[in-house]
Amino acid sequence: MDVAGLPLRRIGLRIAEGIDQTLLVLVLALSMLGLAALFSASYENPSRVLGQLANLGLALAAMWLVAQISPQTLMRFAVPAYLAGLVLLVAVALFGDVVNGARRWLHVGVTRFQPSEVMKLALPMLLAWYFHKHEASLRLRDFAVAAVLLVIPVAFILRQPDLGTAALVGAVGFIAIFFAGISWRVLGVLGGLGLAVLPLAWGMLRDYQRQRILMLLDPTQDPLGAGYHIIQSTIAVGSGGPWGKGWLNGTQAHLEFIPERHTDFIFAVYSEEFGLLGNLVLLVLYSLLIARGLVIAANAATVFARILAVSIALMTFIYAFVNMGMVSGILPVVGVPLPFLSYGGTALLTLFIGTGILMSVQKHRTLVQT
Amino acid sequence: MQITEIRDSGAELRQFQLRIGIAGFAVLAAFALLTLRFFYLQVVQHEAYRAKAEENRISIVPVSPYRGLILDRNAVVIARNYSGYTLEIFPRRVKDLSGTIDRLSELVDIQPRDRFRFRKLLQETRNAESLPIRNRLSDEEAARFAVRRYQFEGVELKARLFRQYPFGDVGSHVLGYMGRVDQADLARLESEGVFANYRGTEYIGKAGIEASYQHELHGTTGFEQVEIDAAGRGIRSLSRQASQPGNNIMLTLDMRLQQVAEAAFGERRGALVALDPSTGGVLALVSKPGFDPNLFVDGIDPQYWSELNANIDKPLNNRAISGVYPPGSTFKPFMAMAALESGKRKFSSTIHDPGYFDFGGRRFRDSKVGGHGTVDLMKSIVVSSDTYYYQLANDMGIDAIAAFMRQLGLGARTGIDLQNEAAGVLPSQEWKMKRFRQPEQQKWYPGETISIGIGQGYNAYTPIQLAQAMATVASGGTAYRPHLVAHIDNTRSGERRSVDTELLHRVPLRRENVEFVKQAMAGVIKEGTGRWAFAGASYSVGGKTGTAQVIATKQNEKYDEKKVDERLRDHSLFVAFAPLDSPRIAVAVVVENGGFGARAAAPITRTVLDYFMLGKVPPGLARGTPEDEGAEARGSD
């Protein structure tokens, strides 16, 4: 028995090497909740759940693979990944598929994906790499260069148009710059300037984007048009009550009142069926996940590793917060998936690769201690 | 190197960790905000939202428009709607389908074929909201179900409009039929960009006018906001954007004439097309056998459908526009026209007809043994001399014949406003080159031209092309596009759109030549092959008989009708126009396997012309329209 058991154990140990158990348990727990909500949102039709399960398997494999790569090696991918991301964004602008009036999807062989998704990791990687390089002598000019590197992909995504992703990629880039150590004074000046520029930005938004923001203030004004999403999802959340209606018993979702209930609005389905209790469980899981990410960042060995880790941890936070805020009616409706819960292969892959990076950073933190 | 960096940036690291702390605080604050929001929605406001979820559900339901009527030229309604009850099942809301249907069958009559159709629909249309299990419920059945509807979750009684054709199978190929919207229809509607307007539309025109004017007849779908209860049942209507009825379509067709023509065919197979030579309007368009479009209305009974498809008489096939036949001797007036126009023949030139024509070692026989003696052009039509036209075809050559016939519209789709029109075959050197693959087959042999002259050989035209050619000659050379629709009426605005008579082209025919051919065709009626069928006709008329071979007889064998199987007998054809001066009608008739042209097709033409010219209704055909008193009053003229 031992003869057979030994190599198996060794293989098991090898596989477990570099995998942060806390992170793994948290992301798996979140993914399971997602599958449960998805099953309900699909009218108990298992084919979509199986599809997501396949996505999950692929994402786990990718996470494992990335976790094996040291941050130093990862750093070499920063520039190529960013450039590849830019090329894909140009490609999607030229040849992309139009879905719901926005050109976001690119066909690759049998499948298609959103190139903007690549930028969610590629941009913080590039910025982390850039700050790592110029660490010894960071000046205001370096932050200006970083800002340009940030604005280019964001502008492309904004043009698709995908306001939600553009804002999120921009926010992640800003987090990288913030944690690179930009001074509060500069931030204050920029913040003031930003407020001044706001009216201009308003002019650049598409009509439907403006409408979405306006509708946030009073969604009841257009209950069958722009406000419909918010009203219906708010009813779903509110009717869930403290304990929820129970799994598969959500009527809002099952009577098709929840639009995009598999993807961006899956939280409405979850919240209706699992209630306040379920929401708190979800918030605790996210908090733990983010906290773990922040701790890993705080202990990271290099500037590259720490900036990348903090960007990834806070990206998960922003996604979760914006999505739940949107579904519960306190934030505008922007197309943002709920991390680990929403249906969709590309987003899941990004999140798990991000988790893999966190694991890699955690594993290689020992440099500090020696 | 790493270590140096870390040491140098000790302060920076502390600053980084401070910022991490700030971020952590921000995360907690944000999540606390969400928790407050959730608490507000799910605890404080829970009752209000629960009530909203339970009671205040709004569903947007499409309201199907009223389909436009189809009327004949005298405003007789030939396709209309009536409302009836259907029993519909929402498959997603029913747990035990067959059990539910069993229980339903205790209240309403549900036949095995209803179940069969329901299962078939269920397989074919995956995403349908609801599917009918029974159509056209009686009032008693509807009432019986209505009082017990609470026992049937996911079953609803709906009032729907059904299409109805009061004339039954008369004019079936003109009207076409309706059928459920299928995947192919959906794809087409989507590509045409009208998909949104078809939300809620379950039936769509599949053939005939119902198909070719589908979008005109359909109307604009309206929408209703309905409050629905937890089970998805409508409680009350909140707001409503009314649907707009489809346009009425008025045909050029005379339904009475159509009835007379179809009755004249009896049980025989064939086709008839009657055109107005001065507009191209179709006065009658018959294809026999037909079918009863009423049986298609609520999803055709699968048994009747397979019967129609398996029937060797192909009742669904519109012979008038998609059946192709050799024209036989009805081709001769057009050949005579071609001879005169090209100068190959003069009025006076004669030939000797010994009863055959020898060419290239082959003997082409005349249908009359011994021949017609000395034959001039006039006589060649009146007595239908084959020998004359063998020679003429040989003298003209195939390409000159093809060039002239093309002007009359033969061998090309006429462009009538019906689907699936066939092009037929106008033989020429070019056609043969394209038609065949092998080089030896691609060559045109002069011997092949000979039988073209009497309307045999490769010649193959649709009845509507023959009628069109007849109309073109009768009108002195003006060719109009044949069309069935006279105008389209918007019932809301009262606006009337006329379908303009479309002049296709003017064939430059010389007046004296046209007069000559018309006189020759009048001779056919008075003293030629049509004299028996038209004995005693009190109006002026020109015509020509035709007999088209279905099987080729050997050179020295005489065709003997009695020896040949019924389906291999010759087709009987007739073309005619009336009156001689400024003709008002041009007709082409084909009776499949009817034998000699004068025997089957000519008497049908006589009956049709008698009604058209004199209003004479043949005995045995009741006046008025079946099943429709209102229409009768307007229809009897």
Q: What is the DSSP string of B520-538?
A: HHHHHHHHSTTTTTTTT--
Q: What is the CATH number of domain B255-483+507-614?
A: 3.40.710.10
Residues 6+ apart with CB under 8 A from B411: B402, B405, B423, B424, B425, B426, B431, B461, B465
Which 8-state DSSP code applies to residue A43?
A: T
By mean pLDDT, which of A233-242, B155-164, B171-180, B598-607 is the weakest? B155-164
Contact B52 A238 (CB under 8 A): yes
Q: B455 pLDDT exceeds 60?
A: yes
Q: Are B338 and B401 in contact (CB under 8 A)?
A: yes
Sign of the torsion formed by the C-alpha atoms of A10, A14, A17 and A19:
negative
* DSSP one-letter string for A279-341: HHHHHHHHHHHHHHHHHHHHT-SSHHHHHHHHHHHHHHHHHHHHHHHHHTTSS-----PPTTT
Residue with the larger pLDDT of the pair A138 and B27: B27
Q: List the single residue in A238, A252, A321 with the smallest CB-CB distance to B42.
A: A238
Q: Is B172 among the residues known to form the active site? A: no
pLDDT value, residue A262: 79
Q: B260 pLDDT exceeds 90?
A: yes
Contact A252 B53 (CB under 8 A): yes
Residue B629 — pLDDT band, cuts 50, 70, 90? very low
Q: Are B542 and B525 in contact (CB under 8 A)?
A: yes
Which residues in B260-282 are b (16+ Cβ under 10 Å) and which e? bbbbbbeebbbbbbbbbbbbbbb
Interface predicted TM-score of the whole assembly (ipTM), two decimals: 0.91
Q: List the single residue in A236, A242, A310 with the smallest CB-CB distance to B20.
A: A310
Three-class DSSP category at B493: coil
Residue with the larger pLDDT of the pair B367 and A321: A321
Does residue B38 belong to the interface with chain A, where contact is any CB pair within 8 Å? yes
Mean residue pLDDT across chain B = 85
Q: Are B228 and B60 in contact (CB under 8 A)?
A: no
pLDDT value, residue B72: 93
Chain CA centroid to CA B274, Å:
16
Q: How far is B154 from chain A (nearest CA, A)?
A: 13
pLDDT value, residue B603: 92
Q: B31 pLDDT exceeds 90?
A: yes
Domain with CATH 3.40.710.10 in chain B: 255-483+507-614
Contact B37 A330 (CB under 8 A): yes
Share of chain B above pLDDT 90, in %: 45
Q: Are B351 and B321 in contact (CB under 8 A)?
A: no
Region B179-202: what's the mean pLDDT? 81
Which 8-state DSSP code applies to residue B483?
A: B
Residue with the larger pLDDT of the pair B400 and B3: B400
Q: B276 pLDDT exceeds 90?
A: yes
Q: B305 pLDDT exceeds 80?
A: no
Contact B37 A255 (CB under 8 A): no
Q: Are B254 and B75 in contact (CB under 8 A)?
A: no
pLDDT value, residue B296: 80
Residue with the larger pLDDT of the pair B99 and B123: B99
What is the residue-level pLDDT of chain A in tens, covering all 370 positions?
Answer: 455 556 778 888 888 888 889 999 999 999 999 999 998 888 666 788 899 999 999 999 999 999 999 999 999 999 999 999 999 888 888 877 665 556 666 666 555 677 888 889 999 999 999 999 888 777 788 888 899 999 999 998 888 777 778 888 999 999 999 998 888 888 888 888 888 888 888 887 777 677 766 765 666 565 555 567 788 888 889 999 999 988 888 777 766 667 677 788 899 999 999 999 999 999 999 999 999 999 999 999 899 999 999 999 999 999 999 999 989 988 877 778 899 999 988 889 999 999 999 999 998 886 544 3
Query: The whole model's pTM is what?
Result: 0.61
Contact A290 B27 (CB under 8 A): yes
Question: Is-cis flag, bond preceding B65, omega within 30?
Answer: no
Q: B564 pLDDT exceeds 80?
A: no
Share of chain B above pLDDT 70, in %: 90
- Please choose, from the candidates B269, B341, B256, B350, the residue with its C-alpha nearest in 3D space to the C-alpha of residue B311: B269
CB atoms < 10 A from the CB of B316, how many?
A: 19
Query: Distance between CA atoms of A94 and A111, rounded to whole angstroms?
Result: 18
Residue of A229, A234, A239, A321 to mutate for B, most B C-beta atoms under 10 A: A239
Domain with CATH 3.90.1310.10 in chain B: 59-251
Q: List the single residue in A181, A276, A287 with the smallest CB-CB distance to B38.
A: A276
Region B375-390: what's the mean pLDDT? 91
Chain CA centroid to CA A72, Å:
24
Q: Are B355 and B369 in contact (CB under 8 A)?
A: yes
- Residue A173 φ/ψ, nearest 5 degrees: -60, -40
pLDDT value, residue B631: 35
Which 8-state DSSP code applies to residue B295?
A: G
- The rounded radius of gyration (Å) of the Cα atoms in chain A is 21
Contact B23 A294 (CB under 8 A): yes
Region B450-472: what's the mean pLDDT? 93
Query: Distance between CA atoms of A68 and B63, rounded to whole angstroms?
Result: 60
What is B59-251's CATH superfamily? Penicillin-binding protein 2a (Domain 2) (3.90.1310.10)
Q: B624 pLDDT exceeds 80?
A: no
pLDDT tens digit sequence for B492-549: 888 888 877 788 888 999 999 999 999 999 999 998 888 888 988 899 999 999 988 8
By mean pLDDT, which of B210-224, B350-364, B390-404, B541-555 is the weakest? B541-555
By mean pLDDT, which of A72-81, A107-116, B2-11, B317-326 is the weakest? B2-11
Look at strands B155-164 and B234-241 and give their pairing. unpaired
Taking CA atoms, what residue in A is nearest to B45? A238
Look at strands B70-71 and B248-251 and give their pairing. parallel
Biggest distance spanned by C-alpha atoms of chain B: 127
Which chain A residues touch B42 with a CB distance below 8 Å? 237-238, 240-242, 271, 275-276, 279
Three-class DSSP category at A113: strand
Which chain A residues touch B12 with a CB distance below 8 Å? 181
pLDDT value, residue B388: 92
Does residue B352 belong to the interface with chain A, where contact is any CB pair within 8 Å? no
Query: Distance between CA atoms of A182 and A365, rounded to whole angstroms?
Result: 24
By mean pLDDT, which of B263-277, B301-315, B423-437 is the weakest? B301-315
Question: Is-cis flag, bond preceding B579, omega within 30?
Answer: yes
Task: Give B351's strand partners.
Answer: B375
CA atoms within 13 A on the CB side of B242: 5
Three-class DSSP category at B275: strand
Query: Distance between CA atoms of B172 and B501, rounded to whole angstroms?
Result: 24
Query: Catalytic residue among B329, B380, B475, B572, which?
Result: B329
Region B222-250: what's the mean pLDDT? 76
Task: Give B234's strand partners.
Answer: B228
